[in-house]
Chains A and B, each alone.
Chain A
Amino acid sequence: MSLRVFRDLFGGAKSANYHRRKRARDRRTFLALSAPGLIWYMLLMVWPLVYMFYISLLRWDGMLKPKTFIGLANFTRMFADPHFEHAVVNTGIHLLIGIPAVMPVAFILGFFLSRRPAGYRLLRVVFFIPAMASVAALALMFVGIYLPDGILNTILRGMGLDELTRAWLANTKTALPAIIAIDVWSGIGFYGVLFFAALSNVSDELYEAAMLDGAGLWTSMWRIAFPLSLDFFGLFTMLHFLWILLGAAQNVLLLTKGGPGDHTLTLGYYLYDQAFLSRRLGYSQALGVFVFVIGVLGMLIIRRLTTRKYE
């Protein structure tokens, strides 16, 4: 820290050309104040990403084993790996079902709450219950829902639908949908409340004016509220996309470990499995690079689709 910055922070005699030097000094003070945070952020968020690209070029079978530079061999191996193919397909299904199942419903619920119907505060608390729970708590909860004797089957039996009951997480047909349902379930409430927050600033007059023109609430929701919140819609979709791409692997880890077979193997979980269970650090980071590229591409696409077009 230079003397001038020191003087600005702690005081001291003001030099004659105080004002002329103010700009340069402001810049130094700015850097001094932001340096610790910036360094922390670069070291633990930005650098690990760079490091990931480097590790992906290595053959490295465990921390204590030697590293060998093998160029792009991990990537050629990846594209020939049947597990990788399963993981891509499962992650694709998860995204294609998970995003459309959450965002429109969340938007409708958020719009409904933003009109402040009686009891909206209570509904908001209820909707947020899944979002506040940790992945560990939710996973344990869903164990009790999906067990052969769990509440899902109990409810189905109670409705006389015995033939629909099954061991949801052990069944090859229902394991992946069961995993997807967890994020659909928690996502609807979470993004519903966020849409509520986004839409509660819209003035009533805007809707009332539309109603005078003969539009119903359903129409004004799509004609007025939706275009107004298109930016949020895109943003929340991106957050949910990133969560499904990587975060959701925690549910797989806690509930199925990718099984039965590869039926719930997702890219995020495969990355974890390769790094910490199979000890193929280099290969796991090649998967990481692939997921990173998919993540960036996905966000560009979502942005493109939800950016307003002015005609």
Chain B
Amino acid sequence: MISSFIQRFVRRLRDGKTVFTIGGYVLSVLYGLTVLIPVYFVLVSSFKPNMEIFGAPLALPSHITFENYADAVRIAKLPRAMGISLGVTAGAEILTLVLAFPVAYAIARIRTRLAPIVEGFFSLGFLIPAFATLVPIYLMTAAIGLLYNPVALILIYPAFKLPVTVLLLASYMRSVPRELEESAEIDGATRLQMIYHIFFPLARPGVVTVVVLNFIDIWNEFLFALVLMNMKNRTLQIAVSSLKGERLLDYGLMAAGIIITLLPVYIVFLIFQEQVVRGLYAGAVKS
């Protein structure tokens, strides 16, 4: 029995499968450690008094303290920032859907020569990094008097998210079978009735995917929130980054801030893992 095991092992070694698997695990574990060690470090630091953090950075806290969290919330005025982030994210998500859903529907369902042209036009959006539009958008925002007003972010973020949202929704809608709509059309339903009663429920899984993807990006957005908002109306990302003092460094405080910003995103990611991975992949491929 042992000899047959060895024989099998030698055969697997020869076809390279075992070596490849071992190599793959080694690489994965090494990379995994470079991810998990810093995350672990931030997590334990957030529960440690500052004196303890850099004495033994990787040790567990001698006793768990929530002082860093309380301080972070107080110093960076996180409740207000959190409220603004929630409002901006919700507003921008809704506006993105309101703008993208009709376009996606039109591309997927109305047969006209314009459809591929519009679709191609949106797919070019992947080639425009949002960063390139930073200064013009800053000037435009100031010109219409919305500088430092969170409404500006609600209006701007959907433009960045439109290309990927339109293309993903359109490709999803194409996979929805036409039969139901056809029978509704025979029954005399108008197009809006059809969209609302039949199409929207059928397209819901696609909508969930884009909402989750857009949530991660909008919640995490830093640059435009930094430039367009002021101290009073800053979003969570800006408030937390302000915990990095220019001279004094309180790492426990920063660690608590990091955990507070990450938590909502990781909860959403863990629930919608499949949608996030497939959606990001499909979004990239559509362009």
Q: Which residues of A contact B (CB under 8 A)?
A: 8-11, 23, 26-27, 29-31, 33-34, 36-38, 40-41, 43-49, 51-52, 55, 63, 105, 108-109, 112-113, 115, 117, 123-130, 132-137, 139-145, 147, 149-151, 154-155, 185, 188-189, 192-194, 196-198, 211, 216-219, 221, 232, 235-236, 239, 242-243, 245-247, 249-250, 254, 268, 271-272, 275-276, 281, 284-285, 288, 291-292, 295-296, 299
Contact = CB atoms under 8 A, between A and B. Distances in A.
A6 to B, nearest CB: 10
A147 B54 contact: yes
Contacts, number: 288
B244 A55 contact: no
Given A137-B262, A143-B244, 17 more contacts: A40-B162, A41-B162, A44-B137, A109-B31, A124-B273, A125-B273, A128-B276, A132-B265, A137-B237, A139-B244, A140-B240, A144-B41, A217-B20, A218-B19, A218-B20, A235-B285, A254-B241
Nearest to B261: A137
Interface stretch (B63-71, B109-117, B176-184, B203-211): B109-117
Contacts of A254: 241, 244
A23 B251 CA distance: 65
B281 A136 contact: no
Nearest to B114: A30
B135 A55 contact: yes
Nearest to A39: B99
Interface in B93-118: 98-100, 102-103, 105-107, 110-112, 114-115, 118
B220 A134 contact: yes
B35 A130 contact: yes
B114 A151 contact: no
B168 interface: no
Interface string B152-181: 000110111011001000000000000000
Interface of B (DSSP majority class): helix
B169 to A, nearest CB: 11
B131 A246 contact: yes
B129 A242 contact: yes
B258 A137 contact: yes
Contacts of A276: 138, 227
B241 A109 contact: no
Q: Which of A11, A198, A245, A291 has the most CB of B within 10 A?
A: A11
B38 A198 contact: no
A134 B222 contact: yes
16 contacts: A29-B106, A30-B115, A49-B133, A63-B142, A112-B24, A126-B35, A136-B222, A142-B38, A144-B41, A151-B37, A154-B58, A216-B20, A247-B129, A275-B134, A285-B136, A299-B127
B148 interface: no
B266 interface: yes
Contact of A26 (B112, B241, B258, B265): B112
Contacts of A232: 284-285
Contacts of B156: 44
B132 A246 contact: yes
B129 A218 contact: no
B241 A197 contact: no
A117 B133 CA distance: 43
Contact of A34 (B118, B140, B287): B118
Contact of A129 (B35, B166, B222): B35
A194 B277 CA distance: 7
Contacts of B105: 33
B122 A41 contact: yes
A37 B100 contact: yes
Nearest to B265: A132
Given A41-B159, A140-B254, A134 B261 contact: yes
Q: Which of B126, B132, B241 has the most CB of A within 10 A?
A: B132
Contact of A136 (B132, B138, B241): B241
A34 B121 CA distance: 12
Contact of B129 (A105, A154, A246): A246
Contacts of B34: 185
A33 B41 CA distance: 50
Closest 9 CB pairs of A and B: A216-B16, A44-B159, A112-B24, A134-B220, A48-B136, A197-B281, A11-B190, A48-B133, A246-B131
B191 interface: yes
Nearest to B106: A33
B112 A27 contact: yes
B249 A124 contact: no
B27 interface: yes
A141 B42 contact: yes
A11 B36 CA distance: 58
